[in-house]
Amino acid sequence: MSPRLHRSVLFLVFLAMAVIITGAFITSTAVAARQSQSAISPFVNEGPHRGFAVSLIVFTLGIAIWISAAPTPGWLRAVAWSGILTVAVGAALVWQTPPLSPTAGVLHALMAYLFLSLIVVILVGTSESWNRTPELVDGNSKPLLRRLAFATPPIVFLQITLGATYRHDVTSIMPHLVVAMGVTLLALISSSVVLQHFHRPASLRGAAAALISIVLAQVCLGIGAFLMLVLNAEGTFYFLATTVGHVLGGASTLAASVVMAMQVRRCVLPKQS
């Protein structure tokens, strides 16, 4: 696999994060204005967000064509073109004149989350370590690990969906908080099992360490944002920065949980009956 392709996909990951961050500043400003019932000047307007988004679409198309032209596995090509489809749907949802409807806003956010995960999958798939012969470990001692790893991404997606519905004033914050506890528990258990009981391969341990680190940071950001709401600090830059970090953390948690599931499926042998 070409190192240049891998580096280009890494750049695409950072570009996707820039789109998520600028979009999160816009929605966080709306949340702050709604909670404080006062007008708040936007820290980031639509201009940078749309500029990053256009660059993202063009660059993603280029990556998809590059992957299709290169000798890459079929599943990697499918993921690349799924990324194109996802970013196209996300762009179509905001084609209408602002302001967005709550439903369009939620779906637009979910497309961004899905897109980041798809690009991270491509990043892993184009890495040198993924394209070496995998180091396999026996999963008989921890038969539930595969189920936990595969169950985590859908639960994370549910949790960030509830977060998006809260940010767009569709639901209250309580469902988001309740499911967040389940996400934290699943991620902590699966990551801890790997880190405590599997001393190799390094790719599996790295995925577990990344997942548990991102989840713990995400929990801290969520608690911080909630406390600022309770203390009526919605109009401050600190609230905006914390909520933007929380949104990016949610997208990163989903991507990390997908990578964890990939590594478990690749490296951990299923229980033998």
What domain range is 50 assigned to? 3-269
Q: What is the pLDDT of residue 217?
A: 94
- pLDDT above 70 for 80: yes
pTM exceeds 0.85: yes
- pLDDT above 80 for 141: no
Domain count, the chain: 1
- pLDDT above 70 for 116: yes
Write the DSSP string, the chain: --HHHHHHHHHHHHHHHHHHHHHHHHHHHHHHHHHHTS----SS-HHHHHHHHHHHHHHHHHHHHHHHHSS--HHHHHHHHHHHHHHHHHHHHT-SPSSPPHHHHHHHHHHHHHHHHHHHHHHHHTSTTTTSPPPPEE-TTSTTHHHHHHHHHHHHHHHHHHHHHHHTTSS-SHHHHHHHHHHHHHHHHHHHHHHHH----HHHHHHHHHHHHHHHHHHHHHHHHHHHHHTT-TTSHHHHHHHHHHHHHHHHHHHHHHHHHHHHHHHEEPPP-
38 versus 14: which is more confidently predicted?
A: 14
